[in-house]
Structure 1
Amino acid sequence: MSKLFVFVAAFVVWTASSTVTYVAGCGGTLTAPPGGVVTSPNYPSNYGNSEYCNWLITAPTPSIIRLTFESFDTYHSSDYLLIYDGDSSGAAQMERLSGHPSSVSSITSTFNSIFLKWRTNSYGNIGGFKLYYTTLPDALHEVTAPPGGFLTSPNFPSNYDNNVHYDWLIIAPALSRIRLTFERFYTESNRDRLVILDGDNTRAKTLQSLHGLQSSVSPITSTFNTLFLRFISNGDRTYQGFNISYTSVELNYTSHSQVYLTTIGEWNFYKIPTSGPMTNANVRAACESAGLWNPCSDTGYGTCRHGRSDCVVFDGGSASCRTLNVISDRLCGNIEPQTCKPLDDTFVYSPGWQSDDSAFGVDYDTGHWGMTGADYTDKYALCVGHHEYLTTWDGWMFFKIRVLGRMSNANIQATCERLGMSFPCWYTGHDPCHSKSYWNSDCIMFDHAASADCETTKYLSNKMCGTTVDYNCPALNHTFVYYPSNSYSNGIRYGSSGTLAGSSYNDMYALCAAKQCQTSPCVHGTCAHLLDGYTCLCDEEGSGDYCDAVIDSCSSNPCMSGGTCIDEVGGYTCVCHPHTTGRNCETVLHIDKCYHFSNDSLSYKDASAVCNSMGGHLADIKDSGEQQLLASYIQLGHGVSAWTSTSTSVSSFGTCDCGDGTNRQTGAAPWMQKTADIDICLLLDSSVGYMATYQSCKEQHQYVCESNVTSCQPNVCQNGGICSSCFDNSTVFCTCPQGFIGTFCETVNQCDPNPCPFDWTCSLSQSGGIHCTVPDGIRASSLGFCSASSCGAGWSCVEDGPTGYTCIRG
């Protein structure tokens, strides 16, 4: 797969000459643009006691809001400002400000609203705060999959900048899905975040909100054919960012009634099983019975026009005028459909081609092009359809489906049901919106979220377009809804007030709804809705039609540094040795240093940048002892070569500046392999027993980062544990005192010191006690092991058969 790196930036500067709104009171609803100022009451004089103020700042979608502080001064802890990433205090809290910070970094919302909550106590007051709010405009960049590519934070693998806003929209073909695979993710925790939404705008469902150092992020797959990503950084620390690959996932889905082929423009192409002779009449009838349309043998577009009203028109590009040739070019990369296996035994509507009403067909097995349909039976008709996903609410996915014929209630119902879908009525059906004139029990019922509008189109318009004026929502253009009090449906025309009477319209769109995925048996995967059913997109641990065959997540040996892998539903867990930690046991504490062993491959320069962004540097090997130490940890993991740093004093390596812009090796330490005349970049090379070799700095290898160990601030270890941190406090180790275990020394270890007699093996039992394992030789000569002295005071002894006994407290 070719790699496509996409960089998009948007920068906004708020200037004093901008028109602003000054808010000196206590609370209110504000809009941006134009932007403005918010202050504590009475600012710049002292604020008052017992103040309780809320501000809601909103901006038009898809803009976001940035807060910039000029001053902040309050009594520590007792008087504070809370900032929420949304329209109420129920949203995620982004910041709690209190006290006398020397500066406050700018804060940016994820979407188009920010909620501020100001609280003071009943005594003492000082200066307060002043902040500016403004909007950042849409910074959207569209990419497509296929071909796929990479999305990276700006400057990757170097650090991204402060105060940036990036949006990406990834688009795949109509019946494909998009999969994201994370190769690296490191941002400032809680402040710089990447939000991934399951749709084409910020109103879609949030699939993931990521921030901080993520050692492992599971792949993310869209439910439909679009994904929206938004990256926001604030004005504090910056880190390396992220590198994400995106690809399209072809469903290759075959149902009992149709085979999806491809999508061209607005039309999805299918092969439909057809009974009887492959005549034009039978081909057309097969398409109509499936609720689909039929193309002609020519595309009908531009110079390829066929002049027929009974065939759809589509732009096939410059490859060919012939429909089957165009589809073959899409599917197989050539315009010879008889050589394209997916088109085997497919016939296209071709009126006037033969006097016996034969449709035009191709046969892959014989390479026959131009089969006369009257001579063949029970093959496939080429049909097209158009469906468009709108939104999801209350468990229902709403679609607009192209209808064949009059826009009557009966045709609306038949179109939806033919595709395995249900249909809504003009009213939502939820209390109190169930008047029999506008809703009946044939229709679905869905919650309209306490909206004052009972009408389905108005609620959907508000959800998709931010307005209850449904004719101002382009997504609903020419969409018709089942209307119980009439025989015909009611429709919406974009930009035109009033409703359309279905009795006067043909070949428009029906509003349908589907709920199949709520009950689909995708055991280890994501359910994706299709025209007449669903398919399962398996997670990494699942396989099979229903993702019910579990893949051993430990088969790839993901645990490093000698960690033990435990396969689990949904992934795996690494049980790390003492003084190793991380999702894959990739970070090791050794005396006064920490080592981080990567699981990705980079050039020497990029690897060095990653280590620096983590608050460390490439591991610095000064002698054979350090070389053997690192080699032992690598061998306990994946057995790969890894970049390290040279010593800070390279003279011991016998290097020289040779005058031609390169460094060459003239000698080597005893733990180094001699290699002449190559760049001075040091690799622990698995091919020579992890001796260090000089290799081209442009090669990509895994790498080892090093960091000094410092004391934690604050100490997060419990029960007197000693806390050590490294890599800019992103990794913490607790050295526990005797009698305690756990990541933070939080668990009492009854086996330390060992209470079992004769130093028999002690283990913690599930009942909360201890189990003493009796050696084999003693088991054979004794049937019971409990005595008054078997357990200490306050413990009861319970026989465990021939294996030993258990001590239980009490």
Structure 2
Amino acid sequence: MPSKDSSRKTSVLTQIGVSQGHNMCPDPGIPERGKRLGSDFRLGSSVQFTCNEGYDLQGSKRITCMKVSDMFAAWSDHRPVCRARMCDAHLRGPSGIITSPNFPIQYDNNAHCVWIITALNPAKVIKLAFEEFDLERGYDTLTVGDGGQDGDQKTVLYILTGTSVPDLIVSTNHQMWLLFQTDGSGSSLGFKASYEEIEQGSCGDPGVPAYGQREGARFRHGDTLKFECQPAFELVGQKAITCQKNNQWSAKKPGCVFSCFFNFTSPSGVVLSPNYPEDYGNHLHCVWLILARPESRIHLAFNDIDVEPQFDFLVIKDGATAEAPVLGTFSGNQLPSSITSSGHVARLEFQTDHSTGKRGFNITFTTFRHNECPDPGVPVNGKRFGDSLQLGSSISFLCDEGFLGTQGSETITCILKEGSVVWNSAVLRCEGTGLPAGLRRGRA
């Protein structure tokens, strides 16, 4: 299999390095899980590299110390890398991991890799579960089949490509084969999957969707699982799936996507862009209302935002209607300051155009009474002392050992300012000093 351009890999040795003078190269080191033959680093000398059993050398077997200028000497190539031999392997249970070659670095072009998995117990079957999957769509494929004869079209279970993480796959007997093929150009990060031998007559545990729940805990032939999503999330896919006699579920496990329209009535919660943290999609016009008790106000704190600048917008309004005053309009990826409503209702509107979806946003909201300040939280790498949010009360903060307050105040007080109940200062921000332990608090 041809090696890829080394410039696309992470180098462990700079191309040009100076040791003790212009007639020597720096020590090239020894590859992890490998050996080096030679310890002469003078101009014109060469060293060779080999890998331990079960590992293949990627890069040059021999490098030479060369003169590149009157002042500099450098090795002719990077130090090579020893990678586990993961192509054309016979694997045995009870469990293990399979990855594309070089994972999580881009796989090679013109690859042809075969894995055959055999259960230790011939009465069991093989379950294959993917953690990551990213192949050049339509050109690079991973074929999964039944039995130990790779490439047999009669035993093919799935031909996988693209970026969607595949569902659970279960063989019908004690063996499973995988064939990974790539074309001559364009590559991606590849895949990572775990395999495990399980009892016959089972489809395996398909898991529970994020932000969802499942009814049913049996995965034998004929068993049915039912799914539903948490409030504010919509189910995408089948509400119920059944384990079939071919050891496959009748449909993929459904997903839970944040709804584009929802009224929140809880005292606290999270507002997410649809499909967060994946691309939110195009042509959206979402509206969310946060409805607190009449004596309360609403505090919104941004945890994350990545919205296409100038074309996609999140607007937060101080009231329930589209005509309510605007508290803020947000686009781009700069994390905004928190926002507080003047009344007990806040309206969030999210609009996107016809192209270029981004990660979206993640906002935490809390509600508090009119004579209270919003909960300031706890500083990262710090502690908080005091819980009262009432007008006139104070809360103190202290940074953890090894961290110093760089912004904000160690003590904040809830005050009345221009008719609003607010904290008189920002929360303390604690950052690492980078100093030795004895100097962190000014000690010599």
**Given the two structures, how large is their TM-score scaled by the length of structure 1?**
0.22
| Higher-RCO chain (CA-CA 8 Å, sequence separation at least 6) | 2
More helix by share: 1
Superposition TM-score, scaled by structure 2 size? 0.38
Q: Over alpha carbons, which structure has the higher Rg?
A: 1
